[in-house]
């Protein structure tokens, strides 16, 4: 019997998108990678107001210490541990990236003027671009984790293998948090998102 170590262990590879409310951005377009599952959930909070500026004021009242949108992420792993002559080897490694995104939803959008609707659409597009960047960074981190764990090779025993995997995952998540914080700083939490090249930023990461 091969013991299984897992946060989440599944046989699927791809991107799963949860149902989302109408009137908010769609889930981000993300690359598919072998051995990595991405699960995306998109939710919203309602804001009122007859005009665009009223809706923005409602966002500020609802989230006085937070940006208008956010992406929370987690990375879990699953693998089999095979006892071999030299020790213990990880097999069937898979990672699951969970992404939970939250956006404002303007209840007065349908009754607003065309100008207010356009400004709201521009705001949501800016927020979607920013949150997609956060999601891209999480998937990139998962790719690197998958490669690092795949290179662990045979460990003296399965307990040491588990310890090495846990340590590698903690280090990678710490690195990802630094990347996310630098991204927020560079884009002003999305306020300066226009013109920011997420591909160049990912390519520059250490």
Query: Sorting pLDDT into bands at 50, 70 and 90, what band is 82?
Result: confident
Q: Assess whether pLDDT exceeds 50 at residue 89.
A: yes
Q: Identify whether the C-beta of residue 42 lies closer than 8 Å to the C-beta of residue 120.
A: no
pLDDT tens track for 1-34: 233 333 332 233 344 444 444 467 888 888 888 8
Question: Confidence band (pLDDT; 50, 70, 90) for 107?
Answer: very high
Vertex 192 angle, CA 105 and 195, to 5°:
105
- 100-105: average pLDDT: 95
- Confidence at residue 4, expressed as pLDDT on a 0 to 100 scale: 34
- pTM of the model as a whole: 0.85
Task: Specify the pLDDT at position 11.
Answer: 30
What is d(CA 111, CA 55) in angstroms, rounded to the nearest whole number? Answer: 12
Is the pLDDT reported for residue 105 higher than 60? yes
Give me the mean pLDDT over the 72-90 stretch. 88
The string of pLDDT tens digits covering residues 147-177 is 888 888 899 999 999 898 888 888 888 999 9
The pLDDT assigned to 63 comes to: 93
CA–CA dist 169, 171 (Å, integer) = 5
Segment holding 117, helix H or strand E = helix 114-150
3-state secondary structure of 108: coil
């Amino acid at each position: 019997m091969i013991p299984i170590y897992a946060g989440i262990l599944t046989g699927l590879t791809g991107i799963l998108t949860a149902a989302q409310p109408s009137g908010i951005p769609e889930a981000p377009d993300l690359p598919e990678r072998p051995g990595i599952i991405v699960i995306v959930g998109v939710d919203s909070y309602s804001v009122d107001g007859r005009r665009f500026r009223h809706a923005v004021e409602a966002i500020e009242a609802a989230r006085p210490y937070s940006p208008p949108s956010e992406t929370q992420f987690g990375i879990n792993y699953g693998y089999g541990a095979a006892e071999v002559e030299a020790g213990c080897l990880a097999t069937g490694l898979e990672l699951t990236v969970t992404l939970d995104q939250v956006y404002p939803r303007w209840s007065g959008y349908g009754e607003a003027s065309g100008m207010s609707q356009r400004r709201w659409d521009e705001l949501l597009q800016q927020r979607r671009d920013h949150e997609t960047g956060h999601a891209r960074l999480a998937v990139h981190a998962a790719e690197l984790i998958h490669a690092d764990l795949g290179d662990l090779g045979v460990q003296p025993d399965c307990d040491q293998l588990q310890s090495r995997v846990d340590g590698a995952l903690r280090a990678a998540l710490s690195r990802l948090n630094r990347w996310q914080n630098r991204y927020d700083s560079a884009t002003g939490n999305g306020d300066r998102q226009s013109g920011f090249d997420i591909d160049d930023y990912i390519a520059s990461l250490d």
